[in-house]
Amino acid sequence: MQHIPTPHNATAGATPFSLSDAGLAECRAIMARYPEEFAKSALIPILHIAQTENDGWLSVPAMDAVAKLLGIQYIEVYEVATFYSMFNLSPVGKHVLEVCHTVPCMLRGADDVIAHIGKRLGIKPGETTKDGLFTLKAAECLGSCGTAPMLQCGAKYHEHLTIEKVDELIEKFRSGEKRNNYTDRIEA
């Protein structure tokens, strides 16, 4: 195996990362909940903090900083960050629109929602608009099957979607409605 650097995962010449004082304090408070030998238990909430402080994505230097803070191997952080779809490994827009596309949502029109958002914003799933406002992601089950189709933006669910509701959401976000960061809900 060999690491193949891309503009977003390179280590040489990458922008350095360090947590803010407030972010570091929050991480230390989370770490204090666990015995020292189980520091890795704090990994997911700390990755959320690092992602929020790194403009919504986890660069290699951000993941390395988390590994150093927790005293674990870099690969242990990479394994978690690459496994969970809630972590972004490349830059994303201000508003990440994650549309569930598993069977219950698909049966209730998720594919139409994804196609509409893509056409409206001029992007495909995995892409970001040129103005940096929106990223569209097709997500695996977000656990809201009874309210399909749905999308998540930050920590907020938008359910029982119709094309009209999607258009209203896009306009709200475009006009500057504050997004909900993942750290708004971290209570781990």
Tens of pLDDT, residue by residue, the chain (188 residues)? 445 556 666 555 567 899 999 999 999 999 999 998 898 999 999 999 999 999 999 999 999 999 999 999 999 999 999 998 889 999 999 999 999 999 999 999 999 999 999 999 999 999 999 999 999 999 988 899 999 999 999 889 999 999 999 999 999 999 886 544 444 433 33
Give the domain extent around 71: 21-83
Characterize the bridge pairing of strands 134-139 and 151-153.
unpaired
Say yes or no: 127 and 79 in one domain: no
Does 47 fall in a domain?
yes
Give residues with Cβ within 8 angstroms of 33, minimum separation 6. Answer: 41, 42, 188
Task: Please state at what angle helix 163-174 crosses helix 110-121, rounded to 10 degrees.
Answer: 40
pLDDT digits (tens, 9 = 90+) for 92-109: 999 999 999 999 999 999
pLDDT digits (tens, 9 = 90+) for 9-40: 655 556 789 999 999 999 999 999 999 889 89
Q: Report the CATH number that the domain containing residue 135 is assigned in CATH.
A: 3.40.30.10
Which pLDDT does position 185 carry in this prediction?
38
Q: Render the burial of 145-161: b for 16+ CB within 10 Å, e for the rest.
A: eebbbbbbbbeebbbeb
Say yes or no: 109 and 75 in one domain: no
Q: Is 0.85 topped by the overall pTM?
A: no
Q: Report the CATH number that the domain containing residue 73 is assigned in CATH.
A: 1.10.10
